[in-house]
Each structure stands twice: as structure tokens, then as C-alpha cells.
């Protein structure tokens, strides 16, 4: 399975390398780890990674998760006029800015992101067409990736 992130962060995080490096490491870790996960219903997941300061967060509205079984979307003003969405799940992962920005080491940042992402997947309201999707299997695969890479331990409250 392919997993991609569309990162939207406040300038405080974008200019502070500790936090932005942790986000990129988090993305890479999941992208490489999820390549071995197979599902009949979902071939790719696009996660909107959102971490905005309170000043900017009021301009952002998280979207409900969407599933595209097979749909062609028209993109006005784009280089590619049409985009085919096939077995794709999209969702917004909103990270608490206040807590994340206070962290002082990359290990703390990665652990916070990992635990937050696991909680996000646990509580995600999947679209109706994904009733038979292996949600628990996906959640376990993500936990295993984080445990194998020593981001979290099996004993963390997950």
C-alpha cells in the first residue's frame, strides 16, 4: 500500500528544523513501512498532515475521510486536466500544535507523532464503502512499524 502525506504546518514549525525534520522522518518511515501492506479495497492513502498554530488553525477545517473506489476528477487550471482516483482513501490528521511545538528532541517529536497517529487511526470514521476494510490489520501494521523502529514500545499506552 502506498501512503502519502500532504503537509500543512505553521511557519514556526516550517522554520524550526527539529520539528520539520521529525515530520519528514515520520513520513519516510511510514511510506517505506507500508509498502508491504496489502488490501483489496485500498491501494493508497493520502493523509493531510496538519499542524497549525492557534492563529492559523481558525482558517482550517478538517475534512471527513473520503474513499474513491474509481473516480476521475477534473482539475481546473492544473497541468493535468483529469486525475483518476482508484481505491484511494483520504483523511486529515490534525496534530496538536501546542504540545508538538514544546517538544525539545527529535525522539520526543517522533514518539508524539507516532502515538498521535495510532490514536488517529483508532478513532478514524471510515467511509461506509470500507466496512470490510481490514482496519485492525492496518492499525497493527502501523504499530509494528513504530515498534520495529524503536519509536514506541509495545508497552506504551496504544
What's the chain's average pLDDT?
93
pLDDT in tens, 5-56: 999 999 988 888 899 999 999 999 999 999 989 999 999 999 999 999 999 8
- Asked whether the predicted pLDDT for residue 113 surpasses 90, the reply is yes
Residue pLDDT, tens place only, 67-96: 999 999 888 888 888 888 999 999 999 999
Residue 133 in any domain: the answer is yes
3-class DSSP state for residue 150?
A: coil
- For 111, the grid coordinates are 514518539
Q: Is residue 135 part of a domain?
A: yes
Helix (H) or strand (E) holding 117: helix 106-123
Within a domain: residue 94?
A: yes
The answer to whether position 142 is within a domain reads yes
| Cα dihedral across residues 36, 88, 14, 121: positive or negative | negative
The band of 158, judged by pLDDT with boundaries at 50, 70 and 90, is: low
Q: What is the pLDDT of residue 47?
A: 97
Question: Has residue 156 been placed in a domain?
Answer: no
Identify the CA nearest to 117 among candidates 86, 149, 83, 152. Answer: 152
- How many domains would you assign to the chain? 1
d(CA 50, CA 84): 24
The answer to whether residues 64 and 23 touch, using CB atoms and an 8 Å cutoff, is no
Number of helices and strands (H, E) in the chain? Answer: 6, 4
Q: Angle at CA 141, nearest 5°, toward 139 and 146?
A: 95
In a domain, residue 153? The reply is no
Enumerate the H helices of the chain as residue ranges.
Answer: 11-15, 17-33, 54-57, 97-102, 106-123, 135-148
Cα–Cα distance between 134 and 39 in angstroms, integer?
Answer: 7
The answer as to whether 157 is a domain residue is no
Residue 157 pLDDT exceeds 80: no
Structural domain including 16 reads: 2-148
Residue 154 lies in a domain: no
Amino acid at each position: 500500500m502506498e501512503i502519502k502525506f500532504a503537509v500543512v504546518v505553521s511557519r514556526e514549525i516550517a522554520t524550526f528544523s527539529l520539528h520539520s525534520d521529525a515530520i519528514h522522518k515520520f513520513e519516510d518511515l511510514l511510506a517505506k513501512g507500508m509498502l508491504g501492506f496489502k488490501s483489496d479495497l485500498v491501494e493508497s492513502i493520502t493523509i493531510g498532515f496538519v499542524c497549525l498554530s492557534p492563529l492559523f488553525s481558525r482558517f482550517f477545517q478538517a475534512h471527513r475521510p473520503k474513499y474513491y473506489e474509481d473516480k476521475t476528477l477534473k482539475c481546473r487550471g492544473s497541468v493535468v486536466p483529469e486525475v483518476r482516483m482508484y481505491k484511494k482513501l483520504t483523511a486529515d490528521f490534525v496534530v496538536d500544535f501546542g504540545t508538538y511545538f514544546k517538544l525539545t528532541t527529535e525522539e520526543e517529536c517522533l514518539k508524539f507523532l507516532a502515538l498521535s497517529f495510532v490514536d488517529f487511526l483508532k478513532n478514524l470514521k471510515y467511509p461506509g464503502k470500507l466496512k470490510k476494510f481490514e482496519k485492525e490489520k492496518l492499525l497493527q501494521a502501523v504499530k509494528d512499524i513504530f515498534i520495529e523502529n524503536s519509536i514506541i514500545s509495545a508497552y506504551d499506552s496504544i
